[in-house]
Structure formats: C-alpha cells, structure tokens
Amino acid sequence: MNMDLIPAPVRAGDQGRCGFVLDASTTITAAPGTGSTERWLRTTLGAAFGLPLAPGGEGAARAIRLRVDPSLASEGYRLTTTPDEGVVITGGGPAGVFWGAQTLRQLLGPEAFRRAPGGGSTAAFGFTDIEDRPRFGWRGLMLDVSRHFLPKDDVLRYLDLLAAHKLNVFHFHLTDDQGWRVEIKRYPRLTEVGAWRSRTKYGHRASELWDETPHGGYYTQDDIREIVAYAAERHIRVVPEIDIPGHSQAAISAYPELGNTDVVDTAALSVWDNWGVNPNVLAPSDHTLRFFEGVFEELLELFPADVSPFVHVGGDECPKDQWKQSPAAQARIRELGLADEDELQSWFIRHFDSWLTARGRRLIGWDEILEGGLAEGAAVSSWRGYAGGIAAAEAGHDVVMCPEQQVYLDHRQHGGPDEPMPIGYVRTLEDVYRFEPVPPALSEEAARHVLGTQANVWTEVMQNRARVDYQVFPRLAAFAEVAWSALPAPADRDFADFERRMATHYGRLDALGVDYRPPGGPLPWQRRPGILGRPIEGTPPNV
C-alpha cells in the first residue's frame, strides 16, 4: 500500500492488508455539514474512475462515510477504514472533512487525479487510521495575474491545485502598473483602458527584448463570483488585492485625475509595459479616496465576508518623489499635521483600514504599511524578510509570513544556466522544505499573532500557465507540508523522506497535467536561452 502522503499527516497507522475498495458498488453517506465534500467526491473521484458514487444508507458496505465531530480541530480530520470495507472521514468541521477527502484521493493513487478513467474503474488501499490537523490556519498562495493575465479557467485550476495540497488561502493580486484585472462597473475605463498594454518587456527590465504582442485581459464580475464560489466550495478563502497608493499606473492611465497632475502629465501615461518600481503613484486627494471607496464597494459585493474576511491594499513600493514635488501633497501633509511623506502613506492606508473595518472586513497589506504607523486592526504580509513580521507581531498585529528570500517562487530553483529567465537567489525544493514561518526570535505571545504563511508568485517573467507551473511546482508541495505539518526544526527535517514521497507525488502532478520542473532540470522546451534574468548569487540573507 502507498502511504506517500503530502503534506505528511500527524499520525498514520497502516496494517497493510486490503481495507477499502472503490468500485461500482461504493456509495457515499454524508452527514449534515459535509455536503461540499460529498459533491466534490462525486464529481472528482466519480469522474476519475467512472463511478456513480451514489448516496448510501448508514448501514451500507463499501461506503465512504462523511461525519463531523466538533471535538476535533475545525480543520482536523480522522480517516479510518472499517471492517466492512468502508472508509470513514470525520472532520472537526466541514473544512476538516474536505481535507480528509484530499487524503483519501492521494491514497487511491495517481489515477484518482485524472478527469476520466485513465487506467481502470477500481482502486484500493489497505487498512489505515490517520489523524491529522494543520499547524497554521493561513496556508496560502499569492498569484499575480496583473503582470501576466491568467484566464479564468487557469485560476480555477490553481484553486484545485491548492485544494489538492491542503492550502486554504488564495491571495489574488488583481491590480498593478501593468494591468487592472477586475471589472468595476462604475469605472468602466479601468478595464477598457487599464486592462491592456501595447507590448511587454521580455525578460528582466534590463533585457533589450520586447514582446510586441498587445497583452491583457480581465475578469468580469460574474467571473469573479464564479471564482469565489469555486474557492468557497473547496474551503479556500480568497484575499483580493487592490494595490494602492503605489503600483497604480494602470488605474492612472484609465483615470488620469487619480495621479499627481501638478507634477506630471498623467494624461500621457499608458499601462506600463516594463517591470520594476514605478514613480507614478496616486495623489493623496479626496477625489482619490472617494474613487477607491467606490472600487472597494463593488469589490466587497464580489468577495463576501465569509470567503474574504481580509482585503489586501498592497501598500508596497510606493516612491514618495512625486509627493515631495507636489504642492497639493505637501498641502495635505500640512493640513493633516503629518511629519513627512511616510506618514502621508500611513494616513492613506489608515483611511481604508477604518473604511473596511466599518464594513466588517480586515485590512492586510505588505510590510511597508508599518512605516509611519499602523492602524490597530490591520494585519501585515511580511515580504521583505522576517523583520517586518517580527515588528508587527511584537506590536500585537497579526502577520502572514511570506519572506521573499525563502518563499518567492518566481525566484530560480537552480543555479544552472538552463533555468528560464533566472530571477533572485536559488531556492531549491530542499530550501523551501526547510523554511520556518515562525522565527525563533519571536516571543511566545507574539508568535500567536503569526496567522500562517504563504508562497508568493510574481509573474513578470511568466507569460503563461506552463511557466507558472514550472516556477510553482514542485516547490509548492514542499511549502504545503511546511504550512500544514508539525515539522521539526529546519535542520532536523527529513528531506530524504520527503523526496521519497515526492517520487509518488510526481505521478499525481503528471495526472493533473502540471508542467513542473523535473528533478533532473528543465526539459528542452522549458528553457529560455538568451533571455536576460536577474540572478543573485550566494545564500539569501535571513533578514
């Protein structure tokens, strides 16, 4: 029997003999609160094996029985085979039942990851008793669809990939200088103008190459509702991100009055076709505040509070040069009695913190929002290293650890010359497996403010789904185990055992059609020879 589970469960006992057979006689018995898992099993395992998985009575043999037991952790579960060749999945809540179903799918072998029968209509595994629960409540992936747009079906596919790895947060980076990706009905030019750029820098910004094909796309409001509902059915929270006050050239190109019109001719700006930190930031005006309140009003309707309690406002990489030169911005600083431009950004972020809090949501932003003071209820995504997260947690703010040096999956996986458009430090599968979200410097009380962790995927040099797959996998499997499993200290982790289990997991990824980086290096068509990247040599700093 194959018990090569990823992420590794808390406890797994195995008696080896055949204990559960999935075949045409298998039924599903679903207790109240388990409906989403029942539907998922029927559509997913039913399709993979061509089986009806009909509803069954409580006494049916060869049944998958779904139950809820509130004495377990809400996302915890127990999976047990029974003497009548049934399997019982008991979750602490609906999400726990669902994660137990993900384990069941892995136990049934790679064939369970196909969309139609690829090798038979039966599967089996031995007697087992698995107890499991996650280490962190926030286990996320941030996907940037602004730099390169991913069509809706690709987003839905990534939600399935998150679910298959027991990840439960999808951070949806919807706006940036290079494109606005969500329909806002009261401001149609955000997508009519802001969703399209005439060309794209090919490779790092220092590259001399351009892709002259116009690029863009956006999600209609109905697309967003579909994505959010699809995530909710898989017990995944969605964190929408509207990046303000920096990274806003796409919005300014659509509505030039949002920019610092007393410093630059904002009407001449187009959606940015290059990468990096952009000087064109929002004006700190009442008009800008009202405009983005309008954006967030529509956003809150698209992302209901039960799926999206957090709203991300970006807040990173906002150069202050235009504000320093702008008479209007300087007048605003004096009017508010602020010390400097950092405090002006803090005032801007605090405004939306209060606005979101009044509507039952929580603001989260990149760690720059700490500069100039942070609103009481705001949470921080610590990306520039651990330091911002440590400072925020010690000050009583909730934190998501996503340090660039450890878990930016756009960074290269190997130092070899064949890595496509190599960016950043080398972060191998083993490096990600040894990532520790809670730095030892944190006090016990502050550590309780670490909500969890997420891996971030910025798509400047990822033009399509295959490139995203290559950067994300297999490292997301290692990250998922870090986020879910109670692993020992980084140096003591059994990477050899993880690699052994990955040998099985590659078969699952193959069945799912994931274009991962093979252990032996990129395949010929995965390479991008001659395309300039930005590799950084040496060991990344632990900052």
- Structural element, H or E, at residue 246: none
Report the C-alpha gap between 168 and 400 in whole angstroms: 13
Assess whether 165 carries a catalytic annotation. no
Catalytic residue among 176, 223, 398, 460: 176
Q: What are the CA-CA distances from residue 355 to residues 189, 286, 361 (Å)? A: 24, 14, 9
69 is catalytic: no
Neighbours of 186 (CB within 10 A): 10
Residue whose C-alpha is closest to residue 74's, from 235, 259, 204, 197? 235
Q: What CA–CA distance (Å, rounded) separates 253 from 259?
A: 9
Closest CA to 432 of 23, 144, 7, 5: 7
Helix 152-164 to helix 465-472 angle, to the nearest 10 degrees? 20
Nearest in space to 162 (alpha carbons), one of 507, 502, 472, 518: 472
Taking the C-alpha atoms of residue 117 and residue 49, their distance in angstroms, rounded to an integer, is: 5
The radius of gyration of the chain's CA atoms, rounded to the nearest angstrom, is 24
- How is the beta sheet containing 11-22 ordered, strand by strand? 11-22, 123-132, 77-82, 86-91, 63-68, 27-30, 54-55
Of 317, 340, 371, 430, catalytic: 317
Q: Which residue shows structure tokens 């009548």?
A: 84
- 204, 247, 312, 505: the active-site residue: 247
Q: In angstroms, rounded to a whole number, what is the distance separating the alpha carbons of residues 291 and 284?
A: 11
Query: Is position 58 annotated as part of the catalytic site?
Result: no
Closest CA to 85 of 128, 120, 145, 37: 128
The Cα–Cα gap between 397 and 379 comes to 6
Of the candidates 177, 341, 179, 181, the residue with the CA atom closest to the CA atom of residue 246: 177
Both ends of the chain: CA-CA distance in Å? 43
- Contacts of 490-494 with CB under 8 Å at 24 or more apart are 490/434, 490/435, 490/436, 491/434, 493/433, 493/434
Q: Are 101 and 41 in contact (CB under 8 A)?
A: yes
Q: Which residues of 189-204 are buried (b: 16+ CB within 10 A; e: fewer)?
A: ebbebbbbbeebbbbb
Assign 3-class secondary structure to 290-308. Answer: HHHHHHHHHHHHHCCCCCC
**With the CA atoms of 424, 425, 429 and 431 taken in that order, what torsion angle do they form, in degrees rounded to the nearest 10?**
-140
- Annotated catalytic sites, by residue? 176, 247, 317
